[in-house]
Structure formats: structure tokens, C-alpha cells
Amino acid sequence: MAQIQPVADARECKAGCSYMQSLKEIKAKGGFTLIELLVVIAIIAILEAILFPVFAQAKSAAKKTAAISNFKQAGTAVAMYSSDYDGGYMLSNSGSIGGPGWGFGPPDTVPGQQMFPYVKNTQIHIDPMDPWQSEKQRIDDQIPYMMGANPANLTTEQRLYALMVRSNIGYNYAFFSPWRYVRTTGYVGSASISESEVAKPADTVMWGTSIWDRDGAGSPTGGGNWVIETPCWEDANNRPLRPLSQFHPTTGDGSLWSYGTGWANNASSWLVYGGLWPFYNQTSLSNLGPGLKDGHVIIGFADTHVKSKPVNSLTAGCQAYGTGQFKGNVTDTEKFIWDLD
């Protein structure tokens, strides 16, 4: 019996040792320790901090590229339109004798309607960064302004008009198609220039990224606006620039009519940048006004080329924020890029 015991003990030890080893293997394969989990979480957090801004920048860059493409299509449409109509006349805000005027619907028209046959696309009028991406939302918000429009039964013309009023591709109307109100005849409309009147097409702003309004927090709301405002209306000697001089109260027939306030010196106003809005490369200017941003806007030029430009570059050669209607003086005609000269 004394000689058999060690054999039994050896077998028992072998079985027990094998069992304990298996437990260790199962435990090792069963999960991470707390320290290991914390290390993994820390690594993931570091990667997120590094990569998320990169992804956000890439997404914004892609949207900017899309916006530039949209403006390029708009410029091409204008070139085709002007070659087809009236010896090269530019787009206008078309009115009528005794007509309803701007924003109230047909028979009034806006530039987006006039270029539509050349692009067959309404989506180009919605900036990819604008919070109002829905066409229906923009149309529904415009309908209350439109006289005689039945929200439940809009015509195709009324629907297109409402959407194009809220276009993010805003027109430099002051120089390309000045607004006019002739009281003696009741004419409400605009006077389009001819293509040949633009002395330097490659240096003249025709379009810019626009907004309709700003909410209480200062953010864009309502979609876009089919017009943008020039920061300056007069030359260095306080004389109206052409073609505004033809209709100005002091030098013309007195029919010139518009917002006429240029770039508002009120940081809370939607006109703080003349109706333009820098959706791209934004920098916060919260110390100047609620939600106020600086950054880049997409600009389309009269020769149809397109650029992304800093907001502050658009007042070059101009004493912006002029006081009173049709004010603001051009101080350097070579740098000012809004007028026809």
C-alpha cells in the first residue's frame, strides 16, 4: 500500500494541475482587465480628438466645392440668357405697370426663374451649408408674402417664384438691375444693364452667398435671398455710381428704390454683410453680435468664374457702412469690385 500512494498522488496532481491551468487560460481569454480597458478608451478618445476635426473639415470642403459648382452653373445660365435676349441684357427683377412689386408673386419674376430654362435645376439655389435644405420649407415660408397665392393649390409658376425668391445665390441688383418705382406710372420693376456695360467682368461681383434673415441667436434662417447689397453707392465726391445715377433722386429721375442701406452697422442685422453670409471657414465674432461670424462667401463674377473670398475683402476700396440711404463712398476704384467701372 505504501508503494501505491505516490502513483495515486501523482495522477491526482496531474489532473488538478491541468484543471488549474485550464482555469487560467479561460480567465485570460475571458476579457480585459480594468487597466487595459482604460488604456483602450484613452486611445480611442485621442484618435477621435485628432480625426473628427479632419472629417469635419473634409465635409465642409466638399460642400464648398458643391457651392462653387452651383455658382458656376448660375453664371453659365446668365451668359446663355444674355446672349438670347435683347442684345445681351442681364437678368432682372421684372415688374409691371401697376404690378404688385417685389416678393408678392407673379406677374413679378426674379432672376432664378429667368435662368431656370438654362439649368433645369432648382437645387443649385440651396447652399449645402444653409440650415434650410428643404425646398418645401422655403416655399411654404414665402407663400404668406404672395398676394393671391393659395397654399393648397399653387401653380408651377408660383412655386418656382417662391423658391427662387429664397435662393442662396444673391444678385448684385444695385449695379446689374437697379430697382425702380415710377410713381407717375405705377411702374414697379428694374432696369437691367447690357452685358457690354460691365467694363471689367472678371473683377465685378455678380452673385454672392445670401441669407433671408437671422434668428434671435444670430443664425441664418428662412433660406437665402435673391439679392445682396453693395457696401458703397457713391464715388469719392458723393456722386451716385452708374447706372444708379440715372435713377437717383439728385442726379436722375428719382425712381431708384431699394433697401438702399448697404451693409448695416448693426451687428445683429441680416444686412450686416449686405445680405451675404460666410458659411465657410467660419470664425466666431460673438463679441460683436449674437451669432455673428466671419469667414468666406462664394462669389460669382460677371465673366462666370467663381471664388471663395473672405468677407472683409469685399469692402476693399470702399468706406462701408455709409450713413443714410444710398450712401457709402468708393475710395479706390481699382479695388472696389461691385460697380461696373
Q: Please state, as a whole number, how many other Cβ atoms lie within 10 Å of the Cβ of residue 311.
A: 21
Residue 203 pLDDT greater than 90, yes or no: yes
pLDDT digits 0-9 by tens, 9-54:
544 555 555 655 654 555 555 566 888 788 888 888 888 777 767 6
Q: Residue count of the chain, please give it.
A: 341
Number of C-alpha atoms within 13 angstroms, CB side, residue 80? 12
pLDDT for res 98: 66
pLDDT digits 0-9 by tens, 206-224:
999 999 999 999 999 999 9
pLDDT digits 0-9 by tens, 156-166:
999 999 999 99
* pLDDT, the chain, mean: 86
pLDDT digits 0-9 by tens, 258-297:
877 889 888 999 999 999 999 999 999 988 889 999 999 9
C-beta pairs of 191-197 under 8 Å, 24+ apart in sequence: 191/92, 191/243, 191/246, 191/247, 192/89, 192/90, 192/91, 192/92, 193/89, 193/90, 193/243, 193/340, 194/86, 194/87, 194/88, 194/89, 194/90, 195/82, 195/88, 195/89, 195/90, 196/88, 197/243, 197/340
pLDDT for res 8: 47
Delimit the domains of the chain by residue range: 35-330
Global pTM reads 0.83
Mean pLDDT along residues 202-208 = 97
C-alpha cell read off for 231? 457696401
